[in-house]
Amino acid sequence: MINKRKIGKTDIEVSELGFGCAPLGGWPVAVSDQDAYLSLKTAWSKGIRYFDTAPLYGSGMSEKRLGNFLQKQRREDFVISTKVGRLIVDTKKSKAAEKFIGSPKDKDSEFNFTYDGAMQSFEDSLSRIGLDKIDILYLHDPDNHPDHFEEAKKGALKALVKLRDEGVVKAIGCGMNQNEMLIEFAKEGCFDVFLLAGRYTLIDQTSLDQLIPICEKNKISLVLGGVFNSGILIDPSPNTYFDYSKLDKDWAKNVSESLVRIPRSHESANYWLDKAYNLKNACDKFNISLKHAAIQFPYSNEIVSSCLLGMTSKGHVEENFNLYDNKIKKEFWNYLKENALVNSKFPI
């Protein structure tokens, strides 16, 4: 059984375990139509009722695959979110198809945070998904260019508010990998939810310093992505990734150049690997897996409404559900806190 939690001040309730649909767009590996449908069907059978997608994921392929499944379900039984900030355009050579394996080679995405661009993106998403309303609509990564933050505030954000006022969207949010810009967005006073990737996890709780307090004050819920921090919380080694970059000597430079976020001066590949190794040793002491702890870590914080996990097969869904469902005893979390392996503000 999967519990549900509310989104902000809305009447939306999402399943604590959500389905992140980036893999349905062919990231990081190709997924067949059959496997995509079977993954969604298995997730549904386990009680997952929140599904998050975006135009970026496979240049619309993820939205179409999700829509094909959800159109067969009762509309009141699920919650769906998608995003604006990129428009899918025709192209002769798709760069997106190199990242999203199996996606259309004649389609690509272009950043567009204007009012008209957001409205067009929303209409295109409705068409691909096959619905007339979306529950949650996010701004998608308005931090990939210095101008996008202001452009989004002046354009796309106004479009989101209008769509919510019209009732075709129930809640509005923003999704990104950093705390700092979300703190600024929280001050706008209009958001219901933030989709935060990587900053409230078993290894990185930096959102507890400023972002979570301001979200609590403004009744903004968090939906979490990246609970494994790109793989370091599954099997840490110098060959794994953190914030989408390999943990080698160039990690900090590569993260900065990727615009995922700007690492702080104390951060390095060794810094994060040491933290991961210490967490894994603690898990070994309690005979649980690092992945198990990573999945369950966020739920003690009431501000977290759901964790989105990307799943590419029936077996993958079943494994993640079992790790969610098999609750870890309180003694483990106390041990982490007593040994300074997590932020002292972490609620148990």
Active-site annotation, residues: 52, 57, 83
Rounded CA-CA distance 239/248 in Å is 8
3-state secondary structure of 339: coil
DSSP state of 207: G
Rounded CA-CA distance 12/164 in Å is 13
Rounded CA-CA distance 332/338 in Å is 10
Cβ–Cβ < 8 Å for 39, 312 = yes
CA dihedral 62, 317, 302, 216 (to 10 degrees): -20
* Bridge partners, 107 (sequence order): 90
End-to-end CA, the chain: 21
Q: Which residue has the tokens 């935060």?
A: 196
* Bridge partners, 108 (sequence order): 89
* Closest among 160, 158, 153, 138 to 79, alpha carbons compared: 138
- The per-residue DSSP string of 139-154 comes to EE-TTSSTTHHHHIII
Rounded CA-CA distance 52/40 in Å is 12
Amino acid at 293: A
CA dihedral 245, 246, 248, 250 (to 10 degrees): -30
